Amino acid sequence: MTPISARRFGRFAVCLTIIFLAASLPSHTQEQTSDAKTAARQFKNVLVLKDIPADQLIPTMQFIGGALGVDCEFCHVEHAMDKDDKKEKQTARKMIEMELAINKAHFKNEIEVTCYTCHRGSPHPVGIPILTANGGKMPEPEHHEINAQESLPSADQILDKYLAAVGGADALHTIKTRIQKGTVNAMGQQYPIEIYSKAPEKRLSISHPSFGESVTAFNGQAGWLTTPRGVHPMNSAEQQSARIDAQIYLPARIRELYQEFKVLPGETIESHATYLVTAKGASTPSLRMFFDKQTGLLLRMIRYTETPLGRNPFQVDYGDYRDASGLKLPYQWTLTRTNGSFTIRIDSVTQNIPIDEKLFVMPAIPETPHP
């Protein structure tokens, strides 16, 4: 992971605004996804991706940015995303057409070839093999050697051990609320965060970065993000992701939320040997979980969200597990996306203190004029 500049941190605020401006769907229509508005109806100048659901456009843009290792402004004029002034944007539009055409002609219209297949995190794909001592081989992070010697436990055994390791189902279900206070470490900046959770699946975090208070919330039905610039309802992909993060009883509920479990040898994470459990969800995106072979605890979770051009990966690394009223909780976790990562360190945890329901009421979203 390359270090992220302060300039880029500033852009985070800008990007949030862009996302906010893009989200002109009023909250009560958020439930609909299939018959929701198309991108062409919501945005001014979408010519190729015109028929995708409007709320898929920004996740698709995030995919493109991650695949090329660039910011939004590589293609866009700031504050005028509809303009075609930059030749990079014009090239990108042709590339989107190319990706769709390749997959249609050669891969039964499945998303096999993506921007990342060629670009590998750079705007400039390399077409000539690079001469190196190892014969020009690229590292293959997705590849897991199956060691014939190793006999793997079943997914049930691994998930049972995980549940036992965090304290067991009974201890888990005694928890009704949790308040965590700590510090966010993002792109060289540090600022406080408070996280309010209520069983089974409500969660609201308030952080205080330099550009002002920011809230991320999910109340069991809807999710939203609030910054000093306004409220942005989560799109369906963000909402699915927030629902998983909000599960107080996650260690006991994984087998309800996901299906089709597979076990593979996992990579070593900070000198801990792991088992990898993969799972698929019916309405939830697919998932990879890495469990510590020794302690049974969850060390890493990678989730994927689908976009029309490829999948966006999102990784959470859990660490510093400590006791909190009979449970083992991670006191540190790092969230990584293609555009950077940030770490949350928890200093204090209090559980089963009443939390006012009002906290989880979604603020009214002013209806923004349609472009």
The gap from C-alpha 253 to its chain's centroid, in whole angstroms, comes to 20
Nearer Cβ to ligand HEC (43/162) = 43
Distance, CA of 11 to CA of 74 (rounded, Å): 12
How many residues sit in the footprint of ligand HEC (CB under 6 A)?
41
The two tokens of residue 53 are: 């659901």
125 is a site residue for ligand HEC (CB under 6 A): yes
The gap from C-alpha 257 to its chain's centroid, in whole angstroms, comes to 17
Distance, CA of 358 to CA of 301 (rounded, Å): 31
Among 4-12, 39-47, 156-164, 296-304, which window interacts with ligand HEC (CB under 6 A)?
Answer: 39-47
Of 36, 58, 252, 298, the one binding ligand HEC (CB under 6 A) is: 58
237 is a site residue for ligand HEC (CB under 6 A): no
99 is a site residue for ligand HEC (CB under 6 A): yes
Q: Which amino acid is at 165?
A: A
117 is a site residue for ligand HEC (CB under 6 A): yes
Of 46, 163, 250, 277, the one binding ligand HEC (CB under 6 A) is: 46
C-alpha distances (whole Å) from 77 to each of 71, 96, 119 are 11, 19, 22
25 is a site residue for ligand HEC (CB under 6 A): no
45 is a site residue for ligand HEC (CB under 6 A): yes
Residue 97 · residue 344 · CB < 8 Å: no
Distance, CA of 94 to CA of 81 (rounded, Å): 17
Residue 363 · residue 213 · CB < 8 Å: no
Nearer Cβ to ligand HEC (52/175) = 52
75 is a site residue for ligand HEC (CB under 6 A): yes
The gap from C-alpha 226 to its chain's centroid, in whole angstroms, comes to 17
Q: Please report how close the Cβ of residue 242 comes to ligand HEC at its closest, in angstroms.
A: 19
Among 25-33, 58-66, 150-158, 219-227, which window interacts with ligand HEC (CB under 6 A)?
Answer: 58-66
Of 16, 25, 36, 96, the one binding ligand HEC (CB under 6 A) is: 96
Nearer Cβ to ligand HEC (38/343) = 38
38 is a site residue for ligand HEC (CB under 6 A): no
Nearer Cβ to ligand HEC (25/58) = 58
Residue 300 · residue 316 · CB < 8 Å: yes
Nearer Cβ to ligand HEC (46/279) = 46
Which long-range contacts link 212-216 to residues 24+ away (Cβ below 8 Å)?
214/16, 216/242
Of 16, 92, 276, 327, the one binding ligand HEC (CB under 6 A) is: 92
Distance, CA of 348 to CA of 220 (rounded, Å): 25
115 is a site residue for ligand HEC (CB under 6 A): yes
Return the closest-CA partner of residue 298 out of 280, 284, 317, 313: 317
123 is a site residue for ligand HEC (CB under 6 A): yes
CA neighbours within 13 Å on the CB side: how many for 195? 23
Among 67-75, 140-148, 222-230, 358-366, which window interacts with ligand HEC (CB under 6 A)?
Answer: 67-75
15 is a site residue for ligand HEC (CB under 6 A): yes
Return the closest-CA partner of residue 327 out of 157, 170, 202, 160: 170
What residues numbered 278-337 form the site for ligand HEC, per CB under 6 A?
A: 309
CA neighbours within 13 Å on the CB side: how many for 80? 5
Binding site for ligand HEC (CB under 6 A): 15, 18, 22, 43-49, 57-58, 61-62, 64-65, 68, 70, 72, 74-76, 81-82, 88-89, 91-93, 95-96, 99, 113, 115, 117-119, 123-125, 309
